[in-house]
Structures are given as C-alpha cells and as structure tokens.
Structure 1
Amino acid sequence: MNSPQHRSLLTKREREIFQLLILDYTTKEISQKLNISEKTVRNHISNTIQKLGVSSRSQALIELLRLDELSLH
C-alpha cells in the first residue's frame, strides 16, 4: 500500500479504471470487466478529471503518470 507520506489522489476504483484506460480499454469494456455500469465508469473518470483540474481523459492520464499515481506496465 502507499506509504503514509504519499496519500493517493485516487480511490481504489478510480485507479483501476485509469489503469484500464492506459491499456486502451473502452468505457464499455471497463464496465464489463469491473461489473459496474458504463455511467459509473464515466462518473469515476469525471470525478478524477475534476480532482486534477484538467479538461479531458488524456490530460488526466498524463497528469496521473506525472504525479506517479499511475504507471505504465
């Protein structure tokens, strides 16, 4: 888990969704894989975009990589 000095910006679910976005999964594929609705996937993405103060999924991915919140496997 994260060390006490580094509290993640993302919830566990947001992290799962963005890791799948990095792997080029679609919203529909993510919803099926995680057994949640497409609307819920979009809500998690939207919440993350707002948290980061960016305006798109791609900007959010770049920022999360820059902040070491996500990694390219």
Structure 2
Amino acid sequence: MASDYQHRSLLTVREREIFHLLVSDHSTKQISEKLSISEKTVRNHISNTIQKLGVSGRSQAIIELLRLGELSLD
C-alpha cells in the first residue's frame, strides 16, 4: 500500500535547507548569500524552528532535529 506511512515533515522546505547548511558549517551570512535571502530572514527561519521544537537555541534544535530524523549529517 502506498499510504502505509507518510511522514509529514515538521520543517518547511526553506527551514530544512537552512538547517542543512548550518550543520554543513555555513554562517548565517553565507546561508543568506547562498539562498539569496536576507540574514534577518535566515534568523527568522531558525527562530521559528526553535519555537516549533520548544528548545532554547540552534544547537539544541539541531540535536532535536537529528533525534527526530528531520535532519541528517550526510
């Protein structure tokens, strides 16, 4: 069956892109340049994700996203 289990991501596509770049050691400035968005927009996406997860910072967000299988270190 095709619909045995469909995983609905906690993250938006953009949030996923940003966190993937964060774990790939990109700075907020580098992410903004790479995605052609402002640094404030990058920070807003990070902040939104932190709020969704109920954690207190980027590092905890990354750990939680890894634990949930929302992010990988590949």
Q: TM-score, normalised by structure 2?
A: 0.92
Deviation at 1:4, TM superposition (A): 5.3
Identity of aligned residues (%): 79
Write the letter of the residue equivalent to 1:67: L
Q: Which runs of 4+ in 1 moved over 2 A?
A: none
Aligned counterpart, 1:64: 65
Deviation at 1:5, TM superposition (A): 2.4
Gaps of 5+ in 2: none
RMSD of the TM alignment (CA)? Answer: 1.2
Deviation digits for residues 16-72 of structure 1, max 9, x if unmatched?
000000011000000000000000000000000000000000000000000000111
Aligned counterpart, 1:39: 40
Gaps of 5+ in 1: none
Distance 2:26 2:10 in 1: 22
Report whether the alignment pairs 1:8 with 2:9: yes
